Amino acid sequence: MSELTEIVDSLENRISKLLHKYEVLKQMQASLQEELTSVKSENAALKKELENSGERIQSLKAANAMLGSNDYKRETKLKINSLIREIDQCIVQLSD
């Protein structure tokens, strides 16, 4: 009978340890979920910032070309021509 009691006690100890490990892992998972959410939002903010920086770079390139810089004249001319075509299309649509 004492052998059976020892087995039961041993099983209780193992179950107790497993439950404790389970709780620790559950808390760790919750913590990692929070961290993941935080990193995702930071990533989205950084992507938006990168996109805005790209737009600012393009604007600065155009401004440089208009100020006489030879580096981006071709790009600026193409952009201006594109804008003129868009304006012409708008005028045609308005005149219909």
Query: Residue-wise over 34-50: b if at least 16 C-beta within 10 A, else e?
Result: eeeeeeeeeeeeeeeee
19-30, pLDDT tens digit by residue?
999 999 999 999
Distances (CA, A) of 30 to 7, 16, 18: 34, 21, 18
Contacting residues for 66 by C-beta, under 8 A, at least 6 apart: 76
pTM, entire model: 0.53
List b or e across 7-20, with b for residues whose CB sees 16 or more CB atoms inside 10 angstroms.
Answer: eeeeeeeeeeeeee
Instruction: Find the domain containing 9 and state its range.
Output: 2-95
For the chain, the domain total comes to: 1
Token pair 């401004």 is found at: 63
Write out pLDDT tens, residues 21-76: 999 999 999 999 999 999 999 999 999 999 999 999 988 887 777 776 666 677 77
